[in-house]
Amino acid sequence: METIGIIDYGSGNIHSATKAFETAAKDINKEVRVIRVSKADCVIDCDRIVLPGVGSFGDCKTGIDQVDDLYQTINMKVKDYSTPFLGICVGMQLLADLGTEGGETKGFGWIKGTVEKIPSKEGIKIPHMGWNEVHFSKDHKIIDSLRNVQEGMVAYFVHSYHFQLNDEENLLGYCDYGTKITAIIEKNNIIGCQFHPEKSQKIGLKFIKNFLNWNI
């Protein structure tokens, strides 16, 4: 049985994320258990790690840093042991080198880039909130069942800052919102999505199932 660890560091949306993963887990061909993880010791036993995030970049990074050895253990599991990892919303943004929301805050530095405010333009409301279509940049197992869905890959977004990648090779999906918005990123065993799969109904559950079934 695989253990899916949802990192609980006070980001605010842990309940809905956990429920979505529990629902998706019932529909795959292997046994998994979904647990909330709030201590570094518990991360050790996780076969897959999910980092949700709601709020500001700085607050989320502080929340992680305040839990003894939490970041260090996650980093070890992901970088040294190639544990599959999914970052959601601010959980994805934290993978960057730097966040600029409310001042500069260092991120994990796993995927090169910075998190900057979405440019203000006429007719563009900030935050970017609601449904938007995701376009795919290349093939990847995490989106195998999503590329050709009849209704299109439409997901739910809520954010004012976006991930500006240094290397387009890490871009898996994007959407248009006055500018090109990074929607899905990838690097080796690491996946990040700016949208909320737990709020994206059937498409979101498909995305979660793909992550749970993903063999690197």
Task: Report the CATH number at residue 142.
Answer: 3.40.50.880
CA distances from 10 to 6, 13, 113, 186, 192 (A): 12, 8, 25, 25, 19
pTM of the model: 0.96
Record the tokens describing residue 170, joined without a space: 């890490």
What SS3 state is found at 153?
Answer: coil
pLDDT per position as a tens digit, 102-140: 899 999 999 999 999 999 999 899 999 999 999 999 989
Domain of residue 40 covers 2-213
pLDDT attached to residue 13: 78
Catalytically annotated residues: 89, 196, 198
pLDDT category of residue 10 using cuts at 50, 70 and 90: confident
pLDDT attached to residue 147: 66
pLDDT per position as a tens digit, 70-91: 999 999 999 999 999 999 999 9
For residue 144, pLDDT beyond 90: no
Measured distance CA(185)–CA(70) in Å, rounded: 23
How many domains does one find in the chain?
1
